Amino acid sequence: MPAAVVLLPAQVEQGIFMKNIGVRNGLLGGVVVVLFFALVYTAKKEVLLSPWLWWGSMAFYVLFMYKAAKEDCAQLGTKRDFREILRAPFITFIVINLIFWLFYYGLHLSDPDLLSMKLLKEIKEFEDQITTGAGDPQEGNRIREYIIELKKALVNPVQPLGPIITKMFIGALGGFGLSAGIAAILRSSE
């Protein structure tokens, strides 16, 4: 029979996850990113469609990833395998990204107008592309078919989970690249 795990009050107070540098910084970064987007949403939700806002929010990711990597290197040094240095900032990115996309999904479930705004923006962009000329006639036909699909989705807008999960995984690739860059900077600085 397996032994029961007993957590002492000090262990419960400090928390098991809070001991991991990457998780701790990821949780803090996730809260900051969510608060940032929540503030923008309450101020003017149309701004949520701006690519500048999305790319600008990456500054929070990089800040907390760098902070995690610095803490990790201060604790364990930089004379380690590159993959070990890479681990803390990458875990930080993954946790921040997970928290953000859960917030994003929940926000779109609670406010379908956000999805309607996004669909209308996409329809306008594709219609502008058709107006200016798509180039290839087959591509023009594909764009017209996609516009029809978007207009159908606009009738009853529901945020599907599949694209959110896809964006999370694609983001993880970029997060790995950022982590590698941060790890390389820290390793070469000492």
Model pTM score: 0.79
Q: How confident is the model at residue 89 (pLDDT cuts 50, 70, 90)?
A: very high
The enclosing H or E element of 37 equals helix 21-43
Average pLDDT in the 51-61 region? 93
Task: Give 1-16 as a DSSP string.
Answer: -PPPP---HHHHHH-S
DSSP label at residue 133: -
- Which of the pair, 35 or 135, is modelled with greater confidence? 35
**Does residue 66 have a pLDDT over 70?**
yes
For residues 77 and 49, is the Cβ–Cβ distance under 8 A? no
Mean pLDDT lowest for which of 6-15, 130-139, 162-171? 6-15
Q: How do residues 18-49 score in pLDDT, each as one tens digit?
A: 678 999 999 999 999 999 999 999 999 888 88
Average pLDDT in the 46-74 region? 92
Q: How do residues 177-190 score in pLDDT, each as one tens digit?
A: 999 999 999 888 76
Token digits of residue 77: 């040094």
**Does residue 9 have a pLDDT over 60?**
no
Neighbour-count burial of 10, counting CB atoms closer than 10 A to its CB (0-12 exposed, 13-18 middle, 19+ buried): exposed
- Share the mean pLDDT of the chain: 84
Sign of the dihedral through C-alpha 74, 79, 84, 89: positive
